[in-house]
Amino acid sequence: MFKISPVWRRRLIVIGSIVVVLAAVLGITAWYKFFRVVPEEPFANAEERFKYGSLDGENTAGLPYWIWVAMPRVCSKYLPGPGGYRSLGIPWEEGHEMPVGFTKRIIGFPRVANNCASCHTASYRTKAGETPVYVAAGPNHTTNIQGFLRFVTTCAKDDSFNPDTLLAEIEQHTHLDLIDRLAFRYLIIPRTKKALTDRDGQLGWMNRQGIPDWGPGRDDPMNLTKYFMTGMPWDSTVGSADFPSTWDLDIREGMSLNWGGETPSPRSVIIDSALGLQADPKTVEQHAAWIQDFLRSKRPPKYPFPIDAGLSAKGEAVYKKECAYCHALGSGSRVGTVIDVSEVGTDANRLNTWTAEAARIANQTVAKLGITRKDMVKTNGYQSVPLDGLWLRAPYLHNGSVPDLREMLEPQEKRTKLFWNGYDVYDPVGVGFDTQSAEAQRTGFRFDTSLKGNGNQGHLYGTKLSAGDKQALLEYMKTL
Amino acid sequence: MIVAFATWFRTTTKMRLVCVLLVIFLVVAGICLVLRFTSNSPVSYDNPQDRFKYGSTGGEIDSGIPYSVWKALPELFPEYLPGKGYASLGFLYEEGKDLPIGVSMRRVQGVDRVFFNCAICHAGSYRKAPSDPPQYVVGMPSNTVDLRGFYEFLFNAAKSEKFNPGLILAEIKRQGIHEDLLNRTILRYYAIFAMQNSLVGRSDRLSFIMSEPEFGPGRIDTFNPAKALLNFRMCKAPDSEKIGVADFPSIWNQRQREGMQLHWDGNNTSVDERNRSAAFGTGAYPPTLDRDYLHWVEGWLLDAKPPKYSYSIDQGRAARGAQIYATLCAECHGKNGQEFHTGEAKLGTVTPIEYIGTDRSRLDSYTYDLAANQNLIYTGYGEERFSHFRKTYGYANMPLDGIWLRAPYLHNGSVANMRELLEPAAKRVKVFYRGNDVYDPVNLGFVYNVPDQGDRKFFRYDTIVPGNGNRGHEGWAYGTDLIPADKDALIEYLKTF
């Protein structure tokens, strides 16, 4: 050991202290600017939390808020029309900072992620000149999730996604301090660009030639689960499926969920769906608990047009005779069980996206995350679902291939082969949304039932009823 | 330390002295430059009227035009103006003032810059005869300013080959306007090019507004510019939302308006938010808005009053008119011109378009999607974030304070005067002239049937043009079925507002 003179010792202490203080300042600044987790403000009620509450996915999947704000303005050319994110059919309440299903959390800086409400909030209007009503837990039939995913990844790859352009847009609307500006320029913008470009690669399977677009109100749920949870190679299956309603979860306890009945409990579906939204595995079970609590007692809204009580009473008798065996609650009913695809006869593509192998690996993956939930299975049919809030669940069948209830009571030859979905003005005559008017065609998505996965065949129950019985049944179904 | 320095100083050579002086010079120069380039100070006014007419909202910071360039442009580009100078666009010049009403000045980064304030759209003029001097009234809707004409002038100039530092600086020198060496250098090598780029960029975003039918004086499209700000993909928009032309409103008596549905379609109930929204029109963005000034304006407007009617009023006839007003008009327009208040019957609420029947372009130009996107305007500034915008489905019932100065009438200024408004649409004039500030006390409005005066051509308003429709606000409930004597009485009474 060599001796240090007292003078040098003093100097070293001074220098050391300065270094320590500087490091501390730097460390605290870095923590504050990039890692500080600000707890969410409490929500007014459970429904607000369902619409805007965080699933702790912002850290891994979050878009920096200011980039999220600037993207529709900088990359407007990649949106289908005017209106920013609204042009993708995303519900956005007047006065509310975030669209429904979009969460905002500060983790160092504000970040945006998605929650269940982005696919499970329905929108309807009783006429065109009216503000939409948003129904939490209802099936979203307006949001083009695929369009949103493609928009953010395409924008990220565009030349305009660069620090100069983005910062010019951002700083027109807010003041950034020097550290934030440097962080955006050299860290946040380049890293976001890379993350989104990588995500584009992961989603490449849905952008392949010959794979039909989902359109609004649908995704490919089991392929999403399969490719993200199991790492299995891309196959050629197509499993476009309508977003389901998620209200009345109390009556669904013990039933199989997902269109194919692959998941045997509501809790499992919530957990797996939240994980798909990049929720933090450490807290996902807590989040699943409050979400399930809300959905257990969330009821569907009443039909917003008048109902002919007499006709409906007549229709109830038809319903009991023709439909109740599979769709009504109560003992002896097959509701909530899987009906073999050979029996129901609907498009089998969605069913075929899921395999026993996928179920096995997905269950292992979830178990490895330390999460306990009922395991997924492989089935060979589609679930006969309860029909609560049926009027708001158009278009119908698991793939949304039948535009309204009137057509559900017609054989395939009489069902519309080409319609436009995603327009939210309700049509009380067909009992479904307007899918043919000029405005529906202008704003909606061209749904072609001849494309793979879009078949409108099967479920021919009630198609042979007399015209009078059909009319009565239709009236009754408005009351469900 | 001091000892060491003293030792060093004693042994210094001339070179070292020079070095020290140089260091001192550089430090001082550096401080001067920093002060200069961080400078941001508006020209301020003590007199409230002047403060409203010439004070700064902060719009110059982002959108400002260097004062010297502002002065040079009309001389360099007379071909893009209807006549001599900005006055030919209807800008109002008070005697002895260098800048017109509604144009403010601020020194930013050492350069004097000018841009608009509230008064550009909310100050007007009237006179009793063509030969009289104009009376300027703050808070009244501008009846002469052609704001789109101004932007067309700027954009055309920016796209011209003549828009270059050499010509502009030569013109500045010719006019004897002083810019120091540093500013001249900045203008020559940076600022003029930057201004050109920014104007060309802005004209791209605003191009869909520029392809709407002419607005003429006293009108602007209020909400399509918000879509441009958000860079909506307007080429994919339906035609129904592309025309949003509207008359400038009066802005007196804001205290009594708090809580009413504001804007022509009643899309916002917050006076505060409405003002920040309007401030975009003066070039002020969230980071640059001069909040002190805007708060002062807000406060001042709370109780700002319209001027009294400047001709005589037949009190007997007006008293009879008051009864007609109470029966037909008060339910929607308030008790009278002074005592109206929020919550009074249908005042300040929206009448559905199916009922009022006026031109629906302005209504349809404001979309639900825009309202939703406005939720992000002023985000990052806490409570200032917009949260009161709502899509409506009709037009709002306005208080009628100072109504005599608010002609032409209806939201699109399609009805020349009050007498015409009391006629059914079929009898209203189909073509008239706007922009004349000579008052017409017989009809309660401005002279509307004179195409030009001296070297000034007025704007030919054609009610057939999309967005200009003069139908609606007619029928028994709207007073168009009254007998002529009752109409006269009602008009007489409205003069007292």
How is chain B split into domains, by residue range?
Answer: 2-38, 40-120+147-207
Closest CA to B401 of B358, B465, B449, B339: B339
B236 and A84 in contact by Cβ < 8 A? no
| pLDDT at position A187 | 95
**Nearest chain B residue (CA) to A83:** B369
pLDDT score at B4:
65
Q: State which H helix or E strand residue A476 sits in.
A: helix A467-477
Q: Which candidate, B102, B132, B128, B124, places its Cα nearest to that of B115?
A: B102
- Residue B321 CA to residue B325 CA, distance in Å, equals 6
Measured CA to CA, the distance from residue A53 to residue A244 in angstroms comes to 20
The interface residues of chain A toward chain B in range 87-116, judged by CB-CB distance below 8 A, are 87, 92-97, 99
| pLDDT for residue B8 | 63
Q: What per-residue confidence (pLDDT) applies to A60?
A: 85
Contacts of A363 (CB under 8 A, 6+ apart): A375, A376
pLDDT reported for residue B10:
61
Rg of chain A on CA atoms, in Å: 26
Q: Which of A94, A96, A97, A121 to mutate to test the interface with B (most CBs of B within 10 A)?
A: A94
Rounded distance between C-alpha atoms, residue A246 and residue A252, angstroms:
10
Chain A residues whose beta carbon lies within 8 Å of the beta carbon of residue B381: 174
- The reply to whether omega before B133 is within 30° of 0 (cis) is no
Distance CA A228, CA A146 (A): 16
Query: Least CB-CB distance to B287: which of A69, A83, A171?
Result: A171
**HSE (CB half, 13 Å, CA atoms) of B307?**
16
pLDDT tens for chain B, 497 residues long, are 566 666 666 666 777 888 889 999 999 999 988 888 888 899 989 999 999 999 999 999 988 999 999 999 999 999 999 999 999 999 999 999 999 999 999 999 889 999 999 999 999 999 999 999 999 999 999 999 999 999 999 999 999 999 999 999 999 999 999 989 999 999 999 999 999 999 998 998 899 999 999 999 999 999 999 999 999 999 999 999 999 999 999 999 999 999 999 999 999 999 999 999 999 999 999 999 999 999 999 999 999 999 999 999 999 999 999 999 999 999 999 999 999 999 999 999 999 999 999 999 999 999 999 999 999 999 999 999 999 999 999 999 999 999 999 999 999 999 999 999 999 999 999 999 999 999 999 999 999 999 999 888 999 999 999 999 999 999 999 999 999 999 999 999 999 99
Contact B222, B411 (CB under 8 A): no
Distance of CA A7 to the CA centre of its chain: 67
d(CA A338, CA A344): 10
- Let me know if A84 is exposed, middle or buried by CB neighbors in 10 A (0-12, 13-18, 19+): buried
Contact A83 B62 (CB under 8 A): no
Dihedral angle sign, alpha carbons of residues B425, B429, B432, B438: negative
Per-residue tokens: A411: 């054989």
Residue A215 and residue A446: Cα distance in Å, rounded?
8
Q: Which residues pair with A241 in a beta bridge?
A: A219
User: Chain B window 12-31: which residues touch A at a Cβ cutoff of 8 Å?
Assistant: none
Interface test with B, best of A51, A73, A100, A173 (most B CBs within 10 A): A173
A188 closest CA partner among A159, A151, A156, A147: A156
B76, amino acid identity: L
State which residue of chain B sits closest to A171, comparing Cα positions: B287
Taking CB atoms and an 8 Å limit, are B287 and A442 in contact across chains? no
In terms of pTM, does the model score above 0.90?
Answer: yes
Q: Are B295 and B242 in contact (CB under 8 A)?
A: no
Helix (H) or strand (E) holding B10: helix B2-10
* Amino acid present at A105: R
Q: Are B73 and B83 in contact (CB under 8 A)?
A: no
**The tokens of A3 are what?**
């001796």
Would you state the pLDDT for residue B457?
93
Q: Six-digit token pair at B389? A: 């915008």
Q: Which helix (H) or strand (E) holds B41?
A: strand B40-42
Read off the tokens for B360.
């629906």
Chunked mean pLDDT (size 10), chain A, 480 residues: 80 92 93 91 96 93 96 97 97 97 95 96 96 97 97 96 96 95 96 93 92 97 92 94 96 91 92 91 94 96 97 96 92 90 96 95 92 92 96 97 97 97 97 96 96 97 96 97
**How far, in Å, CA of A380 to CA of A343, rounded?**
11
Q: Which two tokens stand for residue B95?
A: 């005697």
Cβ within 8 Å, pair B236-A80: yes
Nearest partner of A226 among A370, A369, A361, A364, judged by Cα: A361
Contact B287, B179 (CB under 8 A): no
DSSP-assigned letters across all residues of A53-112? ---S-HHHHPEEHHHHHHHHHHTGGGSSSSSGGGGGT----TT-SSPTTEEEEEESEEEE
Give the separation between CA B348 and CA B398, rounded to whole angstroms.
6
Looking at B176-290, list the stretches that DSSP marks H as alpha helix, in order from N- to C-terminal side: 181-186, 192-205, 207-210, 224-229, 271-279
- Hey, is the C-beta of A270 within 8 angstroms of any chain B C-beta? no
DSSP letters for A264-305: --HHHHHHHHHHHTT--TTTHHHHHHHHHHHHHH--PPPPSS
ipTM for the predicted complex: 0.94
Give me the helices (H) in A203-261, please.
221-229, 249-252
Chain B positions in Cβ-Cβ contact with residue A151 (cut-off 8 Å)? none
Chain A residue with minimum CA distance to B378: A173
Residue with structure tokens 């709407």?
B212
Query: How do A241-242 and B459-462 pair as beta strands?
Result: unpaired
Q: Which residues pair with A383 in a beta bridge?
A: A338
* pLDDT, position A332: 82
Q: What's the gap between Cα B124 and its chain centre?
A: 11
Q: What is the pLDDT, as a whole number, of residue A61? A: 84
Contact A131 B227 (CB under 8 A): no
Amino acid identity for residue B149 in this structure: G
A82 touches chain B (CB under 8 A): yes
DSSP string, B439-496: EETTTTEE--S--EETTEEPEEEETTSTT-----S-SGGGTTTS-HHHHHHHHHHHTT
Rounded to 5 degrees, what are φ and ψ at A323? -115, -30
Identify the residue among B204, B236, B268, B365 best suited for mutation to test binding to A, counting A beta carbons within 10 A and taking the highest: B236
The residues near B278 (Cβ < 8 Å, ≥ 6 apart) are B118
- Residue B43: both structure tokens together: 């020209």
- DSSP H helical segments within A277-422, as ranges? 284-297, 309-322, 324-327, 341-344, 349-352, 356-368, 405-408
Is A466 exposed, middle or buried (CB count within 10 Å of its CB: 0-12, 13-18, 19+)? exposed
Structural element, H or E, at residue B156: helix B147-158
